[in-house]
Amino acid sequence: MYDIREWRHVFKLDPNKEMTDGQLELVCESGTDAVIVGGTDGVTLENVLDLMARIRRFSVPCVLEVSNMESVTPGFDFYFIPTVLNSRNTKWMIDLHHKAVKEFGELMNWNEIFMEGYCILNKDCKAAKLTEANTDLDDKDVVAYARMAEHMYRLPIFYLEYSGQYGNPQLVQKVKSVLNETRLFYGGGIENEHQAKEMAQFADTVVVGNLVYTDLQAALKTVAAVKG
Ligand SMILES: CC(C)=CCC/C(C)=C/CC/C(C)=C/CC/C(C)=C/CC/C(C)=C/CC/C(C)=C/CC/C(C)=C/COP(=O)(O)OP(=O)(O)O
Ligand SMILES: O=P(O)(O)OC[C@@H](O)CO
Ligand SMILES: [Mg+2]
């Protein structure tokens, strides 16, 4: 399925974490809509190439979520570029992006590239620390970021990121209620089918990350929970 607007469930695999071929096969053949390759730290060209080549044995769509320029490589179906809307540092909103496009603009196939407006809400996660995210936000602040993503920046994806922590379903519902064109991705702390199903009521796309590494069987069950 190569239309990201139809994705309901995706797994996010961290190139900096170990996974056997058998485990990777279960993930790629699980019925998930796509596999995103991404992480905050330790992402290198070598570990991205290795994971991409191993995922490419399967037919599942495969995305690189760019977290640094050094690890960008051809060969993925899509490239997701995060911009952290609630960062206190313009580096993570626009500066790195400007630098990358200045250098590689000629090579970029814009049809494969999708911007993700991140709103990071778990103050303790690595991405929040790295990007100096202001996580001290109330629901109205988050809803305002969502509206900006859709109406001011016309971003294809608004990503509510709780990496490592299960978020607030009521907030996800509120955010969804103000989005029409922009797709709402929810990711963070999903540990079982129940949580995956709960967030799938409101988010367009549910992202399951760390559970793949901590409890693969539980992670696999989230696919049916979300896709029904
Ligand atoms: C040659 C070729 C094919 C070219 C392709 C063209 C292309 C796509 C070029 C890229 C152009 C471009 C504009 C790049 C942007 C450059 C860049 C570095 C932008 C910054 C991205 C950013 C804001 C990163 C910050 C961190 C972040 C938000 C990462 C997202 C992933 C995330 C939150 C993972 C969760 O963390 P995790 O590591 O899993 O944490 P745990 O280990 O605790 O679980
Ligand atoms: O690893 P978890 O907590 O499932 O989060 C998924 C994803 O949103 C991380 O970027
Ligand atoms: Mg992770």
Check if the beta carbon of residue 44 is closer than 8 Å to that of residue 69.
no
**Nearest CA, atom 7, ligand 2:** 187
Rg from Cα positions in the chain = 16
Token pair in block for residue 58: 């399967």
Mean pLDDT by 10-residue block, N- to C-terminus, for the chain (228 residues)? 94 98 98 98 98 98 97 97 98 98 94 98 98 98 98 98 98 98 98 98 98 98 96
* Probe target for ligand 1 pocket from 163, 186, 191, 208, with the most ligand atoms within 8 Å of CB: 163
At position 104, the amino acid (one-letter code) is: F
Q: Is 97 in the pocket of ligand 1 (CB under 6 A)?
A: yes
pLDDT of residue 1: 75
Q: Is 122 in the pocket of ligand 1 (CB under 6 A)?
A: no
Binding region: 12, 14, 40, 159-164, 189, 209-210
Binding region for sn-glycerol 1-phosphate: 12, 159-164, 189, 209-210
Q: Which of 222, 221, 187 is nearest to 204 (CA)?
A: 187
- CATH number of the domain residue 27 falls in: 3.20.20.390
Domain around 208:
4-227
Counting the structural domains of the chain, the total is 1
**pTM exceeds 0.80, yes or no:** yes
- Strands (DSSP E) contained in the chain are 9-13, 34-37, 62-65, 78-84, 113-120, 157-161, 183-187, 205-208
pLDDT of residue 206: 99
Q: Which atom of ligand 2 is nearest to the CA of 185?
A: 8
pLDDT of residue 44: 98
